[in-house]
Amino acid sequence: MVGGMPDAITRVTLFVPGGALLRAVNVDCPTDWIENDGHFGQAFSFGTVEPATVAKIDQALGALVMMWPVDLKTGRKQIVAAVKQLREAGALAVRIEESKLGWDIATWIEIFESDDPWAWHRGAVAFLGSDNALQSIGMHVFSLPDVRIPLEGDRRELQAFATVLDIYQLAEDPLLQSGQTFAPDAETPRRVVERWPAVEYPRDHPCHNPYGTWRVGPPGGKARPTRDPAAPRAPRGGRRASGGPAHAGAGRDDPRSSGVHLAPGRRRAEARARPWLCGSRSRARMAAVATRPLGGQLVSAHTQRR
């Protein structure tokens, strides 16, 4: 609480290891400096950063932690500009704390400087699997819900389905209601998607998604849209959040919103009249998605409203 006003919500947290010069860089967000505890390299040792760079990270003096009040979609250019400044000051890598996914500094900038939502997804969103479900982690850096799909079938195809639903939200900003059906193309059986609060992490954990989760049902479900899907309320400051119904007055980029974005009037009318909201692409590209752990080529996405 500052001056009687609630603290700004942190939407994106970036962990940037390097030397002392990082502390002198002026960025437009709250920051913190963390001394190297001897485990910095381990934080980047999951296959996305070359071993030689991991060794350098392990020897870094410390890390600048940036806590951005804008998300990585609407504030992307601002955040990338700040990371470029840090690169000039000797930054080695960037890790997104909301998904724990990290990249060397040059790769991170290349990913998020592009205008490709598939690249952004690959750079920011991870997938975690359990015995019974596959779950995306990190969509809240774009102010969007994650996707959870039961592990009933081929894991790659299921991850491809979840990836397309993630990126459909990110690229198209669609009118998507709890209880509708979704499929990545006309040939794939539709599945009902329902909006639920996220329960995978404690509410004060960086990986907790305050926008909730789309839970995907089995193939062949029938649409049953609801006006008020279950959804979380906004964090009241920092990373805190409380469970509860959607906040009716919240905006599109506010975690208090249900995540079922009521688009501007013309787009709503188009969405009702035209169930195909993405440009049509070939089904072969769906197979390309299935072969990539975190990304692929954009394919069409289909929702049913009746």
Q: What is the CATH number of the domain that holds 106?
A: 3.30.70
Does any domain span residue 150? yes
Going from the C-alpha of 36 to that of each of 6, 15, 20, 63, the distances in angstroms are: 31, 12, 11, 7
Q: Are residues 141 and 274 in the same domain?
A: yes
Does any domain span residue 249? yes
Query: pLDDT: is 105 or 268 the higher one?
Result: 105
**Calpha distance 94→71 (Å, rounded):** 16
Does any domain span residue 237? yes
Which residue range forms the structural domain that includes residue 29? 12-113
How many separate domains does the chain show?
2
Collapsing DSSP states into helix, strand and coil, what is residue 169?
helix
82-114 pLDDT, tens per residue? 999 999 999 999 999 999 999 999 999 999 999
Identify whether the C-beta of residue 142 lies closer than 8 Å to the C-beta of residue 116.
Answer: no
Query: pLDDT: is 33 or 277 the higher one?
Result: 33
Residue pointed to by tokens 């760079």: 53
49-67 pLDDT, tens per residue? 999 999 999 999 999 999 9
Q: Are residues 133 and 108 in the same domain?
A: no
Mean pLDDT for the stretch of residues 176-204: 93
Going from the C-alpha of 130 to that of each of 139, 151, 155, 227, 282, the distances in angstroms are: 19, 8, 11, 31, 31
Among the ranges given (15-24, 212-221, 263-272), the one the predictor scored with the smallest mean pLDDT: 263-272
Q: Are residues 164 and 16 in the same domain?
A: no
Does residue 246 register a pLDDT over 50? no
pLDDT of residue 287: 32
| Of the residues 43, 78, 113, the one at which a domain ends | 113
Q: Are residues 85 and 206 in the same domain?
A: no
Q: Are residues 153 and 70 in the same domain?
A: no
State the chain's mean pLDDT as an integer.
78
Q: Are residues 58 and 141 in the same domain?
A: no
